[in-house]
Chain A
Amino acid sequence: MQNTNIYTLGIDVGSTTVKTVVCTESGEILHSDYERHFSKVKETVIQQLQEIAEKFPNARFRSSMTGSAGLGLANAAEISFVQEVHAAFLAVKKTFPDTDVVIELGGEDAKMIFLTGGVEQRMNGSCAGGTGAFIDQMATLLGITVQELDEAALKAKRTYPIASRCGVFAKSDIQPLLNQGASREDVAASIFKAVVDQTVAGLAQGREIKGKVLFLGGPLSFQKGLRKAFVQGLGLSEGNAIFPEHAPVFVALGSALYALESKDSPKTAELLLQKVQKAKVRSDVMTGEKLFSSREEYAQFVERHKQCDLRYADLRTYEGNAYLGIDSGSTTTKLVLITENGELLYSHYSPNEGQPLDKIAERLKQIYEDKNENLHIKASAVTGYGEDLIRAGLSVDYGIVETVAHFKAAAFFCPNVDFIIDIGGQDIKCFKIKNGAIDSIMLNEACSSGCGSFIQTFAMALGYDIGEFSQMGLFAEHPVELGSRCTVFMNSSVKQAQKDGATVEDISAGLSSSIIKNAIYKVIRARSTDELGKNIVVQGGTFLNDAVLRCFEREIGRQVIRPAISGLMGAFGAALYAKQQQEENGETTLISPEALEKFSYTSRNIRCGGCTANCLLNVIKFSDGGKFISGNRCEKGAGVKRETEVPDLYDYKYHYLMNLVKKNPKHPKAVIGIPMVLNYYELLPFWYTLFTKLGFSVVLSGESNRKMYFKGQHTIPSDTVCYPAKIAHGHIEALLEKNVDLIFWSCMTYNLKEPNTDNQFNCPVVAYYPELMKANHSGLTEENFFNPYLDINSRKNVIQVIRKTFKKYNIYREVPAAVDSAYQALADYRKLVMYKAKEIISQARAEGRKIIVLAGRPYHLDEEINHGIHKLITSLGLAVVSEDSVAMFGKMPHLHVYNQWTYHSRLYRAAQYVTTQPDMQLVQLVSFGCGIDAITTDEVRSILESSGKLYTQLKIDEITNLGAAKIRLRSLLAAMNA
């Protein structure tokens, strides 16, 4: 054999791309390659190896493989494997040894390596979006390419807050921004900023990112807007932000270095090729049944569903009255025009590309142009997320809640319908119909939304269009089982299936089946499919996909009705509604053809000065001088003045507590800081009285807001804990800035004792969060942070603990009397809340208002946590009281759970009380991540439903989007008035 060169070869098989690097033993890169693999992992690797074999005919290679999708292949091909973060670490050590921190964003992973001050390598946990795939998804949402998104971001003027925890949350923030007309540039920049926040929150976990920061991975090397967001977000100077030339193949380089270091024996490229070609990747993917056994079976299926079609009429020839229905959905825009008899004159379905108003105006213009001159649009109605905007802009006659619109449309096809399920681009909506009214509504919670659009994004990622992709699943041989969870998790299931050799067809069928399982078992949470109902109508764009429809029918073992206009049902329902409403009345208010010609609008942002929330308002001015304001949480921002205040106990309690600290001693023994979080929303009167009586002065951390949250974000160790806990980190920062002498925050295993309970625990988070704070904030010490353990039910114990904790202040003698006053203050406060509730209830009854018991926890008073939902309720004309205020009026019902938490036991009694009051309904607030509410929600639901009450649950998190909450509340209102 002639003298051959020995090189090192690194192969990086990522979730979306394959990268290879060939370098010399001294680390000089001779060759590199970067390609998307579209889930054809093995083929892409082989192709790149072939190129290498041609380019270096006589060389031998020390080789190693890395990457999230590379493990199986490496094992099967007997190529050594190195974990990808470790590979990056090796490459950094070699090429940029003075780096302090490395940040790498990949297709689906985010990684961070700290090199100085204790080496640490981190990866995002199982709950994380904010990566390349997330950016892809967002671009799809905006209807532009990633490159266009990037360019748009560079032109941004401002950014909006977007929830950064997970892609699905961010989507729900972005959608309303788009619907409200925020500029695409600003939204693009906001998306990148969310990625930065996500990275910091998810990976830094209390460690500061400073010094020289090296950025790696595809997105960071190709997207300038993202780079800018990181440099600005981390406050890096020019010289401290390094974007290496070989960033996309950097990890492959690390893999090559690993091969060198581990002294892998050199092999020829041909041998490596053979090994990869021969590699049989172990397959432990679960597969399900085929969707259709034959083409004939499919043909019959199609024929059966064809029967549910509307009759059509011609827009150009039809003369007479017509009714327009518009559904301005979260991702799509739908319009229908129908005749008196419900025949379809015109229909339109398209992505709104973030510009719903433009899209609809455009379509309307077309209708005006094409229609017969004797066709007379007599009335119009709009539904969906964009309802308010479209109504304001185009003077549409009526607005209607989505759920009601869908019900109307479904009843047209199936008058005795008892269950409707709608899977749209972003959400799943299901509702049961009882006695001709909507009985219970189930919407997907923020964590699993985005179902329809998920398939779409996936189709694109694999290089197919959506129609083609879903069609491929129909005859898949072995549909993969992808589980039924949130789409972010599905991503990694798909990754695993790909790795194990599933075909695109199998994946397509698997995705269809997952969406259905998600809907049935996660959203509806049906125990048996019979629970759903007998006469089921399915709708929403996603059901136009035959594979999805087939999976649904198979899962429930029943045939269902899918109208051919499945995707247009909201709009069709709105049109029917318009017809019904207008039958008696006069002319439509809909914008005229002439006005529409001249129609235009401008949009700008201002801060509302109405209250301390300082909501960011988006003001749209229409060419006719009209205005539309969004982003406001209450009427003040919209410039509306109420005639009478709707009574609201949340508002009352909140202001009462925030203004409680009035008198502080003139010469205090010390200044005690109290973070206004968690149980302080109930116990503040106790502690305030105790401390002031003892001669201390009390300072509160202040009102929560998003800025405060971000300030404390870097000390949060567990990103999946509930928002009410996470925001505490900001309150601690606020107190430290106020220079208090000490912060007092007691640990309490036990909460106040409530009647008829099995125990009186706090939840683990409320009980012990002070411990977490102390362990994760370097500014807190034994001297300035007091978190003693005490049992508030025991006077003796409280006295003992307070004496011990404040020993150095010489207060031994005063403690018992101060503690007694504190107990009195707490009792007085609780009584006050109860009296106030009584007052509100009688006032509401006198004014003929219905009453909502907004049931959560004491800390749900915080407006940053409840997002002003109580104001949303009062804006609908309903009075609001809280769970703790009415719990004492109710009895403890018979429970099927272990009733051991104080706050939660109040929910049960409050629910029982509601069942005895005809003019009351209960709305439960649930913080995302609250594990205990997984138990309480089902129980509260069964207490309410057993007495014919409706159960409404609102899940809240960092997100500020009230869209879903509004739908639920308006549907509830519609049902209450039915």
Chain B
Amino acid sequence: METKKTEKPERDYPIFTVAMKETHTILIPTMLQIHFQLLINVFKFYGYKAEILQSESKKVIEEGLKNVHNDTCYPALLCIGQFMEALKSGKYDPNKVALMLPQTGGGCRASNYIYLLRKALKDTFPQVPVISLNFVGLEKDPENGWQTPMPMIIRMIYAMIYGDMLQTLYNQCRAYELVKGTSEKMLNHWIKKANKILCTKDYPNTKKYYELMLNDFAKIQRSQVPKIRVGIVGEIYVKYSPLGNNHLEDFLISEGCEPVVPSMLEFILYYLVNKVHEAKLYGNYKATTPIFQGLYQFFLAEQKKVVHVMRTHGVFIPPHEFEHLLNSVKQYINLGVTMGEGWLIPAEMGALAESGTENIICTQPFGCLPNHIIAKGMSRAVKERYPNANIIAIDYDPGATRVNQENRIKLMLANARSSQK
């Protein structure tokens, strides 16, 4: 990825200065319920104050519609709506907060969210700085108080990895728990514990902690009656964010299903390996290519460890090996498809179907450009390979009603139940 380096960028917006590290709280939109709690803990460890926004009021969507072009994708609308709602709520001093949005630098619209947010702020809260969370050197600036040195990046990724494990175990327990609430209690217990671990030097010692987690969650009393497992794939924000997908996981639980949510580490590995593949594909090796290659190999090993530890432990179902995803997707689509979730969505659909989770919900913001190709465009290919795959694409946007979405999911579940018989 090439980024133009201008010496002194023309800037008409405030940046997060070094001094603000002391005075400002960084606000982060809702997305990954478990992971982000660990992530802000890492931020705190590096001296930043941070808080996750929780509001899901109708005002969020209203502010979103007011402040961004209505044809912009739903995730942007919600994130920006959530920020504006928070700033207008009076809960925060606008002179003491900064906002953070991730930026991948890829070819889809998501790279522009941050600019749309700045536009929205310009009239009402011009003093509020916006931080880009990215790992490709976007918005590099010596005055920038937000810096992510490599050790911090690594620790952040570990926060994601621990979050993945907790998410997986929580979902596998929650659907089967005999005493309501025990899984959630265990989850909260472990979020606290993981936060402590991430502040020690021992955090890369994942095997040990995985085993502790597995043992603890295995103690939860669970029913042995199998439930319909439903995979959730799709655009990364609506896939994870309950605000984006109208609490899809909770809905599936209430319908007596077990939600199967692919891990965040898969997305991180997808992102890293793409940097390596693109260099190979187009012959444009860069100085950063070996770094991405190294990071990829390192975390690939970590992912293998997750699978291995879970398999050895034997109680819970481990995720797919990432290399398997990578190799099996080639039958549908080229690894060169790297915008948005790119080849990862068909890969996850295929792997879920292959491993028996044939019921798959593909969540996407209405009008999401990459998803025309990689989600709706690939489901035929996946179904050809796995004729029993029961895939449904659900669009999310401010106008789509919950009834409508749930009715379609119910249709998918009816199919699932009748094929179960």
| Chain A residues near B (Cβ < 8 Å) | 68, 71, 82-86, 89, 118-119, 121, 123, 125-127, 205-206, 286, 481, 483-486, 489-490, 492-493, 495-496, 499, 521-522, 525, 527-528, 717-718, 720-721, 725, 747, 749-750, 756-759, 761-765, 767-769, 771-772, 775-776, 787, 789-791, 794, 796-797, 800, 894, 896-898, 900-901, 929, 931-935, 937-938
Contact = CB atoms under 8 A, between A and B. Distances in A.
Given A118-B387, A758-B3, A931-B71, A489 B400 contact: yes
Interface string B375-411: 0111111010001000001010111111111111011
B208 to A, nearest CB: 41
Nearest to B405: A126
Interface of B: 1-4, 10, 12, 58, 61, 65-67, 69-73, 105, 107-109, 111-112, 114-116, 118-120, 123, 278, 281-284, 332-334, 336-340, 366-374, 376-381, 383, 387, 393, 395, 397-408, 410-411, 413-415, 418
B115 A83 contact: no
Contact of A493 (B58, B369, B401): B401
Contacts of B403: 68, 71, 492, 495-496, 499
A765 B399 contact: no
A697 to B, nearest CB: 27
Given A761-B107, A775-B381, A800-B283, A286 B58 contact: yes
Nearest first, the 8 closest Cβ-Cβ pairs linking A and B are A485-B399, A489-B399, A86-B414, A772-B377, A761-B107, A934-B71, A718-B376, A791-B282
A765 B395 contact: no
B389 to A, nearest CB: 10
A309 B396 CA distance: 46
A521 B334 CA distance: 41
Contact of A521 (B65, B120, B395, B401): B65
Contact of B67 (A83, A527, A894): A527
A107 to B, nearest CB: 13
Of residues B332, B413, B414, B418, which shows the largest number of chain A Cβ atoms within 10 Å of its Cβ? B414
**Most interface-central of B332, B402, B404, B405 (chain A CB within 10 A):** B404
B370 to A, nearest CB: 4
Contacts of B111: 898, 900
B106 to A, nearest CB: 8
A126 B69 contact: no
Nearest to B382: A775
Contacts of B12: 894, 896
Contacts of B114: 898
Given A492-B403, A772-B373, A934-B70, 17 more contacts: A68-B407, A83-B414, A126-B404, A205-B380, A496-B401, A527-B67, A764-B369, A764-B373, A775-B332, A775-B381, A794-B284, A796-B283, A797-B283, A900-B107, A932-B369, A935-B116, A938-B69
B109 A931 contact: yes
Contacts of B332: 775
A897 B367 CA distance: 20
Nearest to B10: A894
Contact of B107 (A749, A772, A800): A749
A771 B415 contact: no
Contacts of B61: 483
Contacts of A490: 399
9 contacts: A119-B415, A206-B380, A483-B398, A489-B399, A521-B66, A749-B339, A768-B337, A790-B282, A935-B115
Contacts of B333: 771, 775
Nearest to B11: A894
Contacts of B369: 763-765, 931-932
A776 B58 contact: no
Contacts of A206: 380
B69 A937 contact: yes
A758 B251 CA distance: 42
Contacts of A118: 383, 387
A121 B415 CA distance: 8
Contact of B407 (A71, A525, A797, A932): A71
Contacts of B69: 525, 934-935, 937-938
A934 B284 contact: no
B160 to A, nearest CB: 25
A119 B401 CA distance: 27
A481 B58 contact: yes
Contacts of A776: 377, 380-381
B244 to A, nearest CB: 15
Nearest to B109: A931
Nearest to B383: A118
Nearest to A750: B282
Nearest to A494: B401
B407 A758 contact: no
Contact of B380 (A125, A721, A775): A775
A935 B380 contact: no
Contacts of A82: 414
Contacts of A119: 415
Contacts of B374: 768
B366 A126 contact: yes
B338 A775 contact: no
Contact of A771 (B334, B406, B408, B418): B334
A772 B372 contact: yes
Contacts of A499: 403
Contacts of B400: 126, 489, 492
Contacts of B370: 764, 768
B399 A771 contact: no
B339 A767 contact: yes
B77 to A, nearest CB: 10
Contacts of A84: 407
A15 to B, nearest CB: 10
A86 B109 contact: no
A528 B367 CA distance: 26
Contact of B395 (A127, A757, A769, A775): A127
Contacts of B112: 897-898, 935
Contacts of A794: 282-284
B387 A768 contact: no
Central interface residue in B119, B340, B368, B399, by most chain A CB within 10 Å: B399
A111 to B, nearest CB: 9
Given A749-B336, A934-B71, A758 B4 contact: yes
Interface centre among A127, A898, A938 (most CB of B within 10 A): A898
A483 B399 contact: yes
A848 to B, nearest CB: 37
B399 A493 contact: yes
A476 to B, nearest CB: 18
A527 B124 CA distance: 10
A486 B399 contact: yes
Contacts of A747: 334, 336-337
B115 A898 contact: yes
A492 B401 contact: yes
Contacts of A127: 366, 395
A935 B112 CA distance: 8
A499 B61 CA distance: 22
Nearest to A763: B369
A529 B58 CA distance: 19
B107 A762 contact: yes
Contacts of A768: 337, 339, 370, 373-374
A481 B401 CA distance: 12
A488 B167 CA distance: 37
Most central of B10, B58, B401 by chain A CB within 10 Å? B401
Q: Name, among B108, B378, B397, B403, the residue most crowded by chain A CB atoms within 10 Å (CB to CB).
A: B403
A492 B400 CA distance: 8
Which of B70, B283, B370 has the most A CB atoms < 10 Å from its CB? B70
Nearest to B68: A934
A718 B339 contact: no
A718 B107 contact: no
A427 B411 CA distance: 36
B342 to A, nearest CB: 9
Contacts of A901: 107
B282 A83 contact: no
